């Protein structure tokens, strides 16, 4: 089972696809979302967002998880940085 993940800014879609893991910089700390994660709506702070092996630097936003669907809306995001490159 995989997650359906969408990452958006007000201007564009940054990522749309499947993933095994999403790690987000939550207001109360970094947390990981995996398949069958409990429903959640949380604010995000600026920091690193990881979707499997891809890293994005984000500026504040929100994450919503519901039935293996992860929607992340952020103010701004960098292009993905793959494997630390």
Q: Which domains does the chain have, with CATH numbers?
A: 3-82 (2.60.15.10)
Closest CA to 61 of 81, 47, 80: 47
Per DSSP bridges, beta strands 3-8 and 47-51 are unpaired
Residue 59's pLDDT is 95
What number is the average pLDDT over the span 5-15?
A: 95
What Rg value do the Cα atoms of the chain yield, rounded?
11
In terms of pLDDT, which residue wins out, 85 or 10? 10
The reported pTM is 0.90
- pLDDT tens figures, 30-81: 999 999 999 999 999 999 999 999 999 999 999 999 999 999 999 998 777 6
Distance CA 27, CA 85 (A): 27
In terms of pLDDT, which residue wins out, 83 or 34? 34
> Which single residue is written with the structure tokens 């702070």?
45
Distance CA 29, CA 18 (A): 24
């Amino acid at each position: 089972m995989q997650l359906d993940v969408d990452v958006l800014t007000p201007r564009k879609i940054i990522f749309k696809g499947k993933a095994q893991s999403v790690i987000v910089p939550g207001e109360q700390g970094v947390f990981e979302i995996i398949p069958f994660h409990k429903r959640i709506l949380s604010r995000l702070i600026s920091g690193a967002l990881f979707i499997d092996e891809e890293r994005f630097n984000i500026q504040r936003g929100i994450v919503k998880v519901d039935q293996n669907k992860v929607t992340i809306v952020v103010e701004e995001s960098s292009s993905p940085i793959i494997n630390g490159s």
